[in-house]
Structure 1
Amino acid sequence: MASKSFTESASKTTKSALENPSQAAKDFLHNPYTRAALPFINGGLAGMTATVVVQPIDMIKVRLQLAGEGQRTGPRPTVLSVTRSIIASGKVLDLYTGLSAGLLRQAVYTTARLGFFDTFIAAFKSNAEKQGRSVTFGERAVAGLTAGGLAAMIGNPADLALIRMQSDGLKPPEARANYRSVVDALARISKNEGIGALWAGCLPTVVRAMSLNLGQLAFFSESKSQLQKRTNLSPQNQTFAASAIAGFFASFLSLPFDFIKTRLQKQQRDPKTGELPYKGVVDCARKVIRDEGWLRFYRGFGTYYVRIAPHAMVTLIVADYLNLITK
Structure 2
Amino acid sequence: MDFVCGGLAASGACLFSNPFDVLKTRMQLQGELQAKGQHTVHYRNPFHAGYVVAKNEGIRGLQKGLGVAMVLHGVRNCVRLGIYQTLENKGFLRDSTGKTVLYKSALGSAFAGATGAFFGSPLFLIKTQLQSQAARQIAVGTQHGHNSAIHAIKTIYIQNGITGLWRGVNGTMLRALVGSSAQLTTFAISKDKLKEIEYLKKSPLLISLVASIFSGFIQTIMINPFDVVSTRLYNQGVDANGKGLLYTGVVDCFAKIFKSEGVAGIYKGVIANYMRLAPHSLFCLLFWDILKDLKVRYITSSPKRTLLVENR
TM range (shorter): 0.7 to 0.9
For residues 167 and 49 of structure 2, what CA distance do their matches in structure 1 show? Answer: 26
Equivalent pair of 2:92/2:104 in contact (CA under 8 Å): no
SS at match of 1:71: coil
Contact 2:56 2:135 in 1 (8 A): no
TM-score relative to the length of structure 1: 0.81
Kindly tell me: are residues 231 and 181 of structure 1, through their superposed partners in 2, closer, same or farther at Cα, counting changes over 3 Å?
farther
Change (3 A) 1:195 1:69: same
* Contact 1:57–1:306, Cα closer than 8 Å, also in 2: yes
Deviates more, 1:180-189 or 1:308-317: 180-189
Map of 2:88 onto structure 1: 121
What's 1:96 paired with? 63
Q: Does structure 1 retain, via aligned residues, the 8 Å contact 2:179–2:219? A: yes
Partner of 1:211: 178
Give the superposition deviation at 1:124.
2.5
Say if 1:231 and 1:267 are closer, same or farther in 2 by CA, change over 3 A: farther
Residue of 225, 244, 259 corresponding to 1:290? 259
Aligned partner of 1:111 among 78, 99, 104? 78
User: 1: CA distance between counterparts of 2:198 and 2:103?
Assistant: 23
- What is the correspondence of 1:1-327 to structure 2 with a 5 Å cutoff? 38-74=1-37, 75-76=40-41, 77-124=44-91, 128-129=95-96, 134-169=99-134, 177-233=144-200, 234-269=203-238, 276-327=245-296
Aligned equivalents of 1:275, 1:197: Cα separation in 2: 11
Distance 1:322 1:267, change over 3 A: same
Aligned-partner SS, 1:278: coil
Q: Which amino acid aligns with 1:310?
A: P
**Secondary structure of 1:229 counterpart:** coil
CA distance in 1, matches of 2:130, 2:249: 21
For residue 89 of structure 1, give the secondary structure of its aligned residue in structure 2. Answer: helix
**2:22·2:131 contact (CA, 8 Å) conserved in 1?**
yes
Uncovered stretches (5+) of structure 1, i.e. residues with no partner: 1-37
SS of aligned partner of 2:80:
helix
Distance 1:257 1:68 in 2: 17
**Alignment CA distance shift 1:49-1:127 (3 Å):** closer
Judged with a 3 Å threshold, the aligned counterparts in structure 2 of structure 1 residues 65 and 227 are, in CA distance, closer, same or farther, namely: same
The alignment-based identity, stated in percent, is 30
- Equivalent residue letter for 1:226: K
Amino acid in the other structure paired with 2:221? F
TM-score by length of 2: 0.85
* CA RMSD in angstroms, aligned pairs only: 2.2
1:98 Cα offset (Å): 0.6
Q: Going by fraction, where is helix more abundant, 1 or 2?
A: 1
Aligned 8 A contact 2:25 2:269 in 1: no
Whether the aligned pair in 2 keeps the contact of 1:57 and 1:303 (CA below 8 Å) is: yes
User: For residues 126 and 93 of structure 2, what CA distance do their matches in structure 1 show?
Assistant: 39
Unaligned runs of 5+ in 2: 297-312
The aligned residue for residue 3 of structure 1 is: none
Counterparts in 2 of 1:176 and 1:125: CA distance versus 1, 3 Å: closer
Separation in 2 of the partners of 1:134 and 1:176? Answer: 48
Indicate how the Cα distance of structure 1 residues 305 and 127 shifts in structure 2: closer, same or farther if over 3 A, else same.
closer
Mapped contact 1:101–1:181 kept (Cα < 8 A):
no
Write out per-residue CA displacement over residues 142-175 of structure 1, whole angstroms, 9 at most, x where no aligned residue. Answer: 11111001111111000001001111226689x9
Check the 8 A contact 1:215/1:246 in 2, yes or no: yes
Secondary structure in 1 matching 2:134? helix
Per-residue CA deviation, residues 89-145 of structure 1 (Å, 9 max, x unaligned), is: 22111111111110120121011100011011112359845xx66441221111111
CA contact (8 A) 1:220 1:243 kept: yes
Are the aligned partners of 1:40 and 1:114 in contact in 2 as well (CA < 8 Å)? yes
Deviation at 1:210, TM superposition (A): 1.0
What is the rounded CA distance, in whole Å, between the counterparts of 1:275 and 1:178 in structure 2?
Answer: 17
Q: Is the 8 A contact 1:124 1:139 kept in 2?
A: no
Shift of 1:270: 5.8
* SS in structure 1 at match of 2:196: helix
8 Å CA contact retained: 1:186, 1:198: yes
1:80 Cα deviation (Å)?
3.0
CA distance in 1, matches of 2:94, 2:9: 28
- Equivalent residue letter for 2:82: G
Letter aligned with residue 299 of structure 1: K
The amino acid of 2:256's aligned partner reads: K
